[in-house]
Amino acid sequence: MDIALLIVGFVFTIIGILGSFLPVLPGPPLSWVGLLLLHLTVAVPQDWWFLGITAAVALIVFALDYVIPAMGTKKFGGTKAGMIGTTMGLIVALVFPIFGAFGIIIWPFIGALVGELLNKADKKTATKAAFGSFLGFLTGTFLKFLVTIVYMGLFISKAWQYREGLFPFLN
């Protein structure tokens, strides 16, 4: 059972990393579930302080992901249409990777710009608002990615620390 929990927990941490870029997946909470599953194994002692602190961080980052883009958009004079455009641009980048790795940066900006222009903003205002929305999106995404990578590191570190208990057949 420990091996199954280890594998499923690792899969959750990977899905959490993907969720830091995909708006439909809550990245940090999914990565935290991976840590929880690792701690539910017999080999790894249950550390409720560790799990509590990492859960709090995951939930705070999850909540900030909704606040940061709104703050960026508001600070630069944007509207909800710009935020929706940013999300739509991200979806286009993921479904149609035309610009390769740069598409994840270019398409959300284009989406925010189109959203603001459709909201009847002039070009200068729309560009400024799109930049704010885009900057907020990048900040939130970077924060989620950073937390999920740290959780992956913690997962691997804990699994390595208790490898003898997790893999007794290797001894």
Q: What sign for the dihedral angle of Cα 8, 161, 35, 39?
A: positive
Number of other residues whose CB lies within 10 A of the CB of residue 162: 18
Read off the pTM: 0.79
Tens of each residue's pLDDT in the chain, 171 residues? 888 999 999 999 999 999 888 777 889 999 999 999 999 999 999 899 999 999 999 999 988 887 777 677 778 877 788 878 877 887 887 787 777 667 777 888 888 888 888 887 788 888 887 788 778 878 888 999 999 999 999 999 999 999 888 888 876
